[in-house]
Structure 1
Amino acid sequence: MTKATETVAALGIFFIIYFIFLFGVVPLPDVLQEEIIPVLPWWLLVTFGTYSLGTVGYNVFKFRDCEDAYHELMAEIQLAKDDLRSKGITVVD
């Protein structure tokens, strides 16, 4: 089973269970049925957004400059330009 199939299957099961609880097929206490279940998707969306922003913020905070990678990339670009020039292609610097 591919990762996409697993994800679709998991989301399908989640939505089926959610709609069963939302429409009252399985009886729940009134507080759960009327106040928590209807806002559960928004709560999950806000939680996911918070996690995503926190992860991006943490990674930006911990980001370090990579001088060696920069110089290596510039050398590879120059090598590619030289190769193209040797084949008669005009390359603008």
Structure 2
Amino acid sequence: MTRATEAFTTLAIAVTVYIVLFLGLLPLPDVIQNKIVPVFPWWALVSFGSYSLGNLGWHIMTFSDCPEAYAELMTEIQAAKADLQSKGVSL
């Protein structure tokens, strides 16, 4: 199973469970049904955004711990500078 298929399968299961809960097909206490279930997609979106920003920040902060990636990036920057200078752009 590819990673995309796995992600779409997980998403489909989550959406199905949410629809079942939202429509009240599975009996839940009134507090959960009326207060938590309607805002769950927003909570999931905010949680995913927080995780993504935290993960991105952590990898930016620890970028210097990857010497191979640093060397590759510096090589690409030098190649881009040389290409721009050959086209007459002053840097």
Q: Same fold (TM over 0.5)?
A: yes
Instruction: Say if 1:9 and 1:54 are closer, same or farther in 2 by CA, change over 3 A.
Output: same
> Which 4+ runs in 1 deviate beyond 3 A?
none
Counterpart residue number, 2:86: 92
The CA distance in 2 between the partners of 1:54 and 1:8, in whole Å, is 24
- Could you report, residue by residue, the CA deviation over 1:1-35 in whole angstroms, capped at 9, with x for unpaired residues? 32222221111111111100101011100011000
The CA distance in 2 between the partners of 1:24 and 1:36, in whole Å, is 13
Q: Which has the higher helix share?
A: 2
Q: CA RMSD in A?
A: 3.0
Counterpart residue number, 1:26: 26
- Stretches of structure 2 lacking an aligned partner (at least 5 in a row): none
Q: What SS does the corresponding residue of 1:53 show, helix, strand or coil?
A: helix
TM-score of the two chains, using structure 1 as the length reference: 0.67
The CA distance in 2 between the partners of 1:4 and 1:59, in whole Å, is 23
Q: Which amino acid aligns with 1:56?
A: L
Query: How do 1:31-42 and structure 2 match up within 5 A?
Result: 31-42=31-42
Counterpart residue number, 1:48: 48
- Stretches of structure 1 lacking an aligned partner (at least 5 in a row): 82-90
Query: Are 1:59 and 2:53 counterparts?
Result: no
Q: Which amino acid aligns with 2:33?
A: Q
Shift of 1:55: 1.5
Calculate percent identity across the aligned residue pairs.
Answer: 42
Larger radius of gyration: 1
TM-score of the two chains, using structure 2 as the length reference: 0.69
The CA distance in 1 between the partners of 2:4 and 2:54, in whole Å, is 26
Counterpart residue number, 2:71: 69
Q: Which amino acid aligns with 2:46?
A: V
